[in-house]
């Protein structure tokens, strides 16, 4: 499930739920919108025996929305609380979007114009960045996203994470000399004459902070946060790569980078947890449909079924049709969750089986909500999840090999199902086997400069 669809869905829900509240009398018995999507009254009132059996199973396993407690971290121990406080009163979303284009070039290289823009932002938020960096020394960190909120979750933390990760990226670039007079794309003569000092210790510390903030976002119980963390981790790893390939890199620097990677791997969220957050979104979607909010069930897959055709089908669905559609979905999610310990090639046949068992869109009883709103891009989501883990394991292998150490016990790549391949040359090591984010991309090797 990609971020653009989630954003579109959230906008539709905001409109749909507002209309739902306006179209009904606001009596004492009216359910609050959040309460409705937490307790699922229409769904739980279903008379379909098989669906009730599946819902009872979820209840026994504490997997229904109202059974999902928010993670509580005391404020004095919570690094994310400091970040939120530092950015209070700021609209972080447009600021993070303003920063994003500056990371388009590999190696943390910047044009002269972008150098100035990055430096201005770094100076503007220097106090906030340093306070947030210091807060990472606290015992824990959580943005406090409520899993039961699901479709109505407040996700300001995404913009906050984007901004702090990118500010730390600028700090890393500055420490490498890429924001100074000799950094970026100046002439060779000018760079030689005015080259700024390089502080690899500061660059490594900035990369470590980027990684930690990505980890905090990735652990939030919401699939939108998890997907955004995958994107932000790409930026953090681009900064790590720029540092790891610097001619002045030492074994101590590489070890500190390796420690950051291992910290991330040790705190890695299980893919089954992502499936649980997706299941909550799905349960809430069915609840909306049962309440007549057909416009909330949008899809970004118009090739398979047009929005007009999907809306037409939804309006024709009777309660029994919704029951069977939801039963198909819940059983599919259970099967997907059970395979989350497998690598991606082992998971792929299941998605093909689900498409086959759903039948054709023309068939009676075809689960249109499940297949065209909730499950159609689930295979892509799991490719993203497994690649995210695999590239981190690849970096762990590369950083160890570059120091002449034994490789960590990683096993096979969760993205490709193959062993990682380490190529050692006189000046560098490269790692392959971690795979790609998209199916049609060429694999890009992870390269680290060797040290003695």
Read out DSSP for 337-371?
HHTTTS-HHHHHHHHHHHHHHH--TTSTT--HHII
- Same domain (yes/no): 160, 87: yes
User: Rounded to an integer, what distance in angstroms lies between the CA atom of residue 132 and that of residue 128?
Assistant: 6
Q: Is 58 helix (H, G, I), strand (E, B) or coil?
A: helix
Arithmetic mean of pLDDT, 263-282: 95
What pLDDT was estimated at residue 440? Answer: 86
Q: Are residues 263 and 293 in the same domain?
A: no
The residue whose two tokens read 């002449």 is 404
The answer to whether residues 34 and 152 touch, using CB atoms and an 8 Å cutoff, is yes
Above 80 in pLDDT, residue 17?
A: no
Residues 314-357 pLDDT 10s: 888 999 999 999 999 999 999 999 999 999 999 999 999 999 99
Looking at the fold, whether 258 and 185 belong to one and the same domain comes out as yes
Q: Is 312 helix (H, G, I), strand (E, B) or coil?
A: helix
Residue 303 in any domain: the answer is yes
pLDDT at 211 over 60: yes
Domain termination site, one of 237, 252, 267: 267
Shared-domain flag, residues 114 and 238: yes
Do residue 86 and residue 55 come from a single domain?
A: no
Within a domain: 408: no
Is 123 in the same domain as 56? no
Taking residues 137-164, what's their average pLDDT? 92
By DSSP bridging, strand 428-432 and strand 421-424 are antiparallel
Tell which of 376, 408, 428 closes a domain: 376
The answer to whether residue 419 sits within a structural domain is: no
Considering the domain boundaries, does residue 321 fall inside one? yes
Residue 404 lies in a domain: no
Question: Are 15 and 119 contained in the same domain?
Answer: no
Q: What is the C-alpha separation between 108 and 100, in angstroms, rounded?
A: 12
Q: Are residues 106 and 55 in the same domain?
A: no
**Residue 310, CA distances (Å) to 295, 297, 361, 362, 379 in order:** 10, 9, 10, 12, 21
On whether residue 203 sits in a domain, the answer given is yes
Token pair of 391 as six digits = 């590239």
- Whether 190 and 54 map to the same domain: the answer is no
Q: End of a domain among 316, 342, 376?
A: 376
Is residue 154 a part of any domain in this protein?
A: yes
Q: What pLDDT, on the 0 to 100 scale, is given for residue 306? A: 76
- Could you give the dihedral angle defined by the CA atoms of residues 415, 421, 422 and 425, in that order, rounded to the nearest 10 degrees? -130
Torsion of CA 302, 304, 309, 311, to 10 degrees: -60
Nearest-angstrom CA–CA distance, 127 and 164:
12
Do residues 134 and 152 both lie within one domain? yes
Indicate whether 214 and 285 sit together in one domain. no
Mean per-residue pLDDT, 118-122: 89
DSSP reduced 3-state for 431:
strand
Q: Which range marks the domain in which residue 359 is found?
A: 3-67+273-376
Per the structure block, which two tokens stand in for 300?
């970004």
The conformational region for residue 86 under phi > 0 = left, psi -120 to 50 = alpha, else beta, is alpha
What is the model's pTM? Answer: 0.89
Between 49 and 451, the more confident residue is 49
The total domain count for the chain is 2
Quick one: pLDDT band at residue 102, thresholds 50, 70, 90?
confident
Query: In this structure, is residue 301 part of a structural domain?
Result: yes
Kindly tell me if the per-residue pLDDT of 230 is higher than 70: yes
What does residue 19 show for φ and ψ, rounded to 5 degrees? Answer: -65, -40
The verdict on 256 and 283 lying in the same domain is no
């Amino acid at each position: 499930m990609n971020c653009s669809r989630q954003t579109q869905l959230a906008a539709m829900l905001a409109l749909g739920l507002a209309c739902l509240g306006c179209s009904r009398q606001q009596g004492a018995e009216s359910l609050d919108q959040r309460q409705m999507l937490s307790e699922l009254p229409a769904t739980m009132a279903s008379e379909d025996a098989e669906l009730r059996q599946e819902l009872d199973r979820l209840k026994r396993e504490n997997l229904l929305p109202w059974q999902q407690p928010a993670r509580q971290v005391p404020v004095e121990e919570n690094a994310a609380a400091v970040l939120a406080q530092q950015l209070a009163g700021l609209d972080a979303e447009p600021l993070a979007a303003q920063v994003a284009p500056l990371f388009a070039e590999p190696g943390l290289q910047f044009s002269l114009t972008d150098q100035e823009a990055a430096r201005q932002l770094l100076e503007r938020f220097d106090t906030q960045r340093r306070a947030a960096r210091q807060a990472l020394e606290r015992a824990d960190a959580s943005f406090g996203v409520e899993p039961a909120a699901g479709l109505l979750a407040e996700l300001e933390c995404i913009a906050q994470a984007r901004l702090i990760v990118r500010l730390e990226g600028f700090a890393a670039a500055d420490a490498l000399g890429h924001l100074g007079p000799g950094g970026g794309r100046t002439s060779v003569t000018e760079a030689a004459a005015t080259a700024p000092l390089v502080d690899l210790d500061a660059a490594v510390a900035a990369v470590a902070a980027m990684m930690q903030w990505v980890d905090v976002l990735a652990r939030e119980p919401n699939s939108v946060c998890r997907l955004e963390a995958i994107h932000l981790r790409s930026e953090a790893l681009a900064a790590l790569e720029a540092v790891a390939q610097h001619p002045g890199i030492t074994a101590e620097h590489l070890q500190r980078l390796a420690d950051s990677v291992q910290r991330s791997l040790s705190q890695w969220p299980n893919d089954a947890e992502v499936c649980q957050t997706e299941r909550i979104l799905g349960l809430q979607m069915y609840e909306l449909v049962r309440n007549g909010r057909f416009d909330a069930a949008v899809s970004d897959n118009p090739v398979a079924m047009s929005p007009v055709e999907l809306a037409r089908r939804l309006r024709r669905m009777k309660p029994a049709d919704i029951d069977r559609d939801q039963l198909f979905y819940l059983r599919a999610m259970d099967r997907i969750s059970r395979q989350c310990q497998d690598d991606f090639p082992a998971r792929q046949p299941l998605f093909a089986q689900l498409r086959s068992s759903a039948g054709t869109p023309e068939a009676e009883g075809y689960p249109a909500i499940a297949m065209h709103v909730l499950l159609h891009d689930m295979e892509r989501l799991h490719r993203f999840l497994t690649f995210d883990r695999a590239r981190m394991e690849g970096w762990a292998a590369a950083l160890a090999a570059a120091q002449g150490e034994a490789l960590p016990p990683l096993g096979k790549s969760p993205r490709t199902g193959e062993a990682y391949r380490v190529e050692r040359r006189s000046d560098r090591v490269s790692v392959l086997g971690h795979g790609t984010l998209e199916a049609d991309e060429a694999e890009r090797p992870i390269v680290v400069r060797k040290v003695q």
